[in-house]
Amino acid sequence: MRLIITLCLLLLGQAASSQILNIERNRLNRDTTRFWTGQFDLNFLSHNRSARPDNPVRFTNLSTNADLAYTSVKHRYLLINQLSYSALTGNAFLRTGYSHFRANLHWRNRLSSEAFAQGQYDIGRGLRERYLAGGGLRYRLAQDEKASVFVGVGLMWEQERWQIPGEELDVTVRMPKNSNYLGLRWQINLLVHLNSIVYYQHGYDSQFGIWRHRLSTDLNMAATLSKRIRFTTTFAASYDPRPVVPVMNWVYSLQNGVRFSF
C-alpha cells in the first residue's frame, strides 16, 4: 500500500499541466510567413524492482506528447495532444489524456483574438470527461529580441463528469468560466530557452451554489543539444481549492527528458 501511495503522489502531477494547458510552448517567432512546427515525445518505463521474490511488483508507465502548429501570414493554429498510462502489476491506476485546439487570429498584432476547444480525461483522479470551448483576447505587454511578456483574458463554457471515489455514482457540472493567463518567454542565451505561464480560471457553479477556482503554473526550460534535439526540464503545478469530488487539491510534477522537434 505504501508503494502504491508513493507512486500515486509522484505521478499524479502528470495531470497538473493538463488541468490548464500551457499552450505557449508551441508559439514561436520566425521571419518566414508560413511554416509548420511540431514536436513528439515518447517515454516508456517498466521494472520489477521488488523486495519479495514470491510476490513481485511490476511497474509500467507509457506517455506520449504530439504537438503540431501551423503559422500563416495572419493566423496561427495549434494542436496539442497528450496520453499517459501507468500500471502496477497489471492494474492501471493512472490514465490521462487530452486534445487541445487553439487558433490565434491576427497573431502579429499587439492585441489579437483567440478561440479554443478541448477534450480531456483523467481516470486516476476520477475525471471521466471534460469538454470546454471558448475565446478571448491576447495582449503583448513587451517584446524584444530575447524576451516577451503577454497576458490573456477570455470566457469559456466547461462541462465535467467526475466519479466519486469508492462509488459508482458520477457527478456532472456545467458552468461558464473566466480564463486568464500571464506568460513569459525568455531566450537566456544561445542554448537555453525559458518558457513560463500562470493561469487562473474561475466560475460560479449554480448547481452547488459555490465559486470554483483553478490556479496553475507551468515552467519549461530547454537546452539545445543539436539542431533537432533538446534537453528539457519541466515543472508543473495546479491548485484547486474546491474540487468537484474529494481529491488532492494540490498536485505537481518535475520532469527531465530529451525532446525531438522540427
- How many folded domains does the chain comprise? 1
Alpha helices in the chain (DSSP H): 2-11, 16-19
Distance CA(80)–CA(78), nearest Å, equals: 6
The string of pLDDT tens digits covering residues 189-220 is 888 989 999 999 999 999 999 999 999 998 98
The tens-digit pLDDT sequence of the chain (262 residues) is 333 333 333 333 333 334 455 666 566 555 456 788 887 777 777 766 665 666 777 778 888 878 889 999 899 999 988 888 888 776 777 788 889 999 999 998 999 999 999 999 988 888 899 999 999 999 999 988 889 999 999 999 999 999 987 787 899 999 999 999 999 999 998 889 899 999 999 999 999 999 999 999 989 888 988 877 888 888 889 899 998 888 888 888 787 777 777 6
For residue 147, give its domain range: 2-261
| pTM for the full predicted model | 0.76
The CATH number assigned to the domain holding 184 equals 2.40.160.40
Q: Using CB atoms within 10 Å of the CB of residue 227, give its burial: 0 to 12 exposed, 13 to 18 middle, 19+ buried.
A: exposed
**CB crowding 148-184: b at 16 or more within 10 Å, else e:** bebebebebebebbbbeeeeeeebebebebebebebb
